Structure 1
Amino acid sequence: MATHVDLIRWQDEPAPAPWWFLPLAFLGAAYVAAVTLRLLPYLTLCLHQRRPNNDLRRRYGAWAVVTGPTSGIGRAMALELARQGLNLVLVDLDTTNLQEISDTIRSRHGGVETKTVVFDLSLVSTDQGDKPLRWLREAVDGLDVGVLVNNAGVAWPGSVYLHEVEVEAWVRMMRAVTEVTSAVLPGMVARRRGAIVNIGLASSEAIPSFPLFTVYAATKRYVAQFSRGLHVEYAGKGIHVQCQAPFFVATRMVENLVEARRLSPFTATPGAYARAAVGWIGRGGPLCTPSVRHQLLWCAAAAAAPDFVLDWILLRSHLEQRTLLSADQSIEGAISVFAARTRRCQLISGKSSASGTIRGDLAMTAYTRYSSVIVTAVSTRGSGHGWIPDNLNRGHLDYFFWLLTVLNAVNFVVYLWIANCWRLGE
């Protein structure tokens, strides 16, 4: 016969967990660990940035070569490198804008020297490309070039299918990155030091596909693979090669894209991105996303939904953008047409547009966060029926399970907040 003490002891003991509890706890622990490990390099960099600045001039050399420095990311990178005391070789096709950025750098940073090379990178794969390449080699000959930033590229005309694209233009862009790197690399090899930064695209790395921007994303994937290979080949020669893959930066190239408007909380300014990007030069592996905003978006994209769901969402978004383009306009003018149509629609029916956008975005958010709702529901029902022990101190894995639930719940709230920002942005 059980005594009163035995009954009290029996009532204090937690109910045994079902067979599936430990596997789910391990899965939650693995998920939390994976997310944490992805963020650790960026937390480490934040600690590094509290120390003295990354002295690129001392580590690699007195000069840096920047392609496409007249606007956007390239301009911000050139200004940031000049702020850190590096002399600059500026490469672009526009003589007037080259002179303007050169004068700006010298006026802001009196001790910085600049050289300009007029070079249309789209001519690299043609008969006219040999002369500009020779000019570039002559410009860097004898200079202590320690940093190369390959930023120049071709803006995608809009949401288009492959048969509507001039494929040769994208072949030239890939060859331009290769040829410019080949022109600067021999000097770095001779000095056994240097850093090469190739600007890629996070959308070609973090998500399974980028429909209607397929060739553009594929060229950026080439840049990433090109960087990985060179990183391995030249690490033993003192040369660090890195592909920096941003999401959206507030430049003219992306200002009218649907994703850039909807994900405005995660869009970095050129100046902020350049400061983070220069801080990453010579650090980390062959692929990185310097901006913390972009890294958070990368993690969200990787964990938001299965690949086929992301494919459907992006295709729907890009087809929506395509419908705003006038059929009688050329592909080259697609972005400007999209901007005009967007502004006109907002003036005519701003309320209905905002209402439709928030309904669609909330539906998409709820669908992509289905795992959060399921985990929360299971954990709530489990605690109510005694499946989950009340005394969590008896097993540390229980903490991971509850942490996973809380993280998913918070993540869901964040996505709702983002959807609300999209509505206000309309």
Structure 2
Amino acid sequence: MSLCFVDELKSQPSWLLVLFTLGSLSFLKFLFATLKWVYASFLRPAKNLKKYGSWALVTGPTDGIGKGFAFQLARKGLNLILVGRNPDKLKDVSTSIQSKYSNVQIKNVVVDFSGDIDEGVQKIKETVEGLDVGILINNVGVSYPYARFFHEVDEELLKHLIKVNVEGTTKVTQAVLPGMLKRKKGAIVNIGSGAAIVIPSDPLYAVYAATKAYIDQFSRCLYVEYKKSGIDVQCQVPLYVATKMASIKRSSFWVPSSDSYARAGLRAIGYEPRCTPYWPHSLLWGLIQLLPESAVDSWRLGFCLRIRKRGQLKDSRKNE
């Protein structure tokens, strides 16, 4: 039967054989990608995070994804260094974590990433000195109050976005990395955004999306630079998560809570240099890639224009 099939193929025109070959290769590529996704999403075991070290440092841990990571890391038995700008919120989070995980040690470091970053980074350096900091979660970040055109972005917001999202992540990494190099082990997780990677453009959030594109490229370069030094660097790319920053109060299947995202995020540490840990998000990413960029651009522009309109309406009411 197989010989008859081969003979039948040989009798076909060459262009048809080329099409058959290309189609077979495309199908095999799709099948491999699908199996890889299923394995990574549902079957692949999480790594033992304690192998990186006994301490984890989390920036922006008082709300949203950062808070979710802090609790999940404590659940795994790691001691925590929590870095944020509000000492009262840091104390509240620390108390909540220790009431649930009493054996976990916690150090709070007050750093205003929109202020004197160099002074804050010096505090971080002093805190991590002598500690076995094996995991760094660079979560701190800010976005627009609401969607707006680039010419509507004022000077203060522009500086704030670049300073917190770009300079903050870069300098905290620079402060923690030498200790990891010395111990020849560590994991660095930088929180990116679907606004910079998943969708082809994010109109009316141009500067925010650009800062997150920096995070993605920064992470990829460090992944290559330090892979042979025992340090796993990863950019995690979430889509919408139910947080204050996203202005989403209720979680759903497509929009996880910060805890649900953090649980998925921990399972992904130590693997790909770029990933979308929450599997429904990765499914959406795949679907978006099948659409024409022009169609996604049009949809995204209309979506963001509606956000802008609602934001302007709120501003006008405040000024009345």
- Normalised to the residue count of structure 2, the TM-score between the two structures is 0.87
Corresponding residue to 2:159 among 168, 176, 185: 168
> How far is 1:321 from its partner?
2.4
Structure 1 161/140 Cα, relative in aligned 2: closer, same or farther at 3 Å?
same
Question: Which segment drifts farther, 130-139 or 38-47?
Answer: 38-47
The one-letter amino acid of 1:248's match is: Y
Corresponding residue to 2:97 among 87, 105, 110: 105
2:264 aligned with 1:271: no
Counterpart of 2:4 in structure 1 is none
Residue by residue, what CA displacement relative to the aligned partner does 1:200-246 show, whole Å, maximum 9, x if unpaired? 01231122111111111111010000000001111111111000001
The 2-side partners of 1:297 and 1:27 are apart by 26
> How far is 1:19 from its partner?
9.6
Counterpart of 2:208 in structure 1 is 216
> How far is 1:309 from its partner?
1.5
The 2-side partners of 1:17 and 1:160 are apart by 58
- Normalised to the residue count of structure 1, the TM-score between the two structures is 0.66
Counterpart of 1:374 in structure 2 is none
> How far is 1:170 from its partner?
1.9
CA contact (8 A) 1:133 1:180 kept: yes
Counterpart of 2:44 in structure 1 is 48
The 2-side partners of 1:24 and 1:269 are apart by 46
Counterpart of 2:294 in structure 1 is 308
Corresponding residue to 2:285 among 275, 287, 298: 298
> How far is 1:21 from its partner?
7.3
> How far is 1:171 from its partner?
1.7
- Structure (1 or 2) with the larger CA radius of gyration: 1
The 2-side partners of 1:251 and 1:35 are apart by 34
2:309 aligned with 1:318: no
The one-letter amino acid of 2:296's match is: L
Corresponding residue to 1:242 among 207, 217, 234: 234
Structure 1 146/328 Cα, relative in aligned 2: closer, same or farther at 3 Å?
closer
Instruction: Give secondary structure in 2 for the equivalent of 1:149.
Output: strand
Corresponding residue to 1:187 among 162, 179, 187: 179
CA contact (8 A) 1:268 1:293 kept: no
Instruction: Give secondary structure in 1 for the equivalent of 2:232.
Output: strand
CA contact (8 A) 1:67 1:150 kept: yes
Instruction: Give secondary structure in 1 for the equivalent of 2:197.
Output: helix
RMSD across aligned positions (CA): 2.6
Residue by residue, what CA displacement relative to the aligned partner does 1:132-179 show, whole Å, maximum 9, x if unpaired? 211111110000000000001013221111111132112202000000
The 2-side partners of 1:120 and 1:193 are apart by 28
Correspondences of 1:29-108 after superposition (within 5 Å): 29-45=24-40, 46-49=42-45, 54-57=47-50, 59-108=51-100
Structure 1 133/31 Cα, relative in aligned 2: closer, same or farther at 3 Å?
same
Corresponding residue to 1:154 among 142, 166, 181: 142
CA contact (8 A) 1:35 1:299 kept: no
The 2-side partners of 1:154 and 1:120 are apart by 12
The 1-side partners of 2:276 and 2:159 are apart by 28
Percent of residue pairs identical: 42
Structure 1 stretches of at least 4 aligned residues deviating more than 3 Å after TM superposition: 16-42
The 1-side partners of 2:305 and 2:288 are apart by 20
Residue by residue, what CA displacement relative to the aligned partner does 1:98-125 show, whole Å, maximum 9, x if unpaired? 00111111111111100000111112xx
2:120 aligned with 1:132: yes
The one-letter amino acid of 2:48's match is: D
CA contact (8 A) 1:117 1:136 kept: yes
The 1-side partners of 2:130 and 2:20 are apart by 61
Instruction: Give secondary structure in 2 for the equivalent of 1:202.
Output: coil
The one-letter amino acid of 1:80's match is: Q
Corresponding residue to 2:270 among 282, 298, 309: 282
Corresponding residue to 1:329 among 309, 315, 320: 315
Instruction: Give secondary structure in 2 for the equivalent of 1:205.
Output: coil
Instruction: Give secondary structure in 1 for the equivalent of 2:108.
Output: strand
The 1-side partners of 2:254 and 2:14 are apart by 41
The gaps in structure 2 that reach 5 residues or longer are 1-10
Q: How many residues align?
A: 303
The gaps in structure 1 that reach 5 residues or longer are 1-15, 334-426
The 1-side partners of 2:204 and 2:20 are apart by 40
Counterpart of 1:393 in structure 2 is none
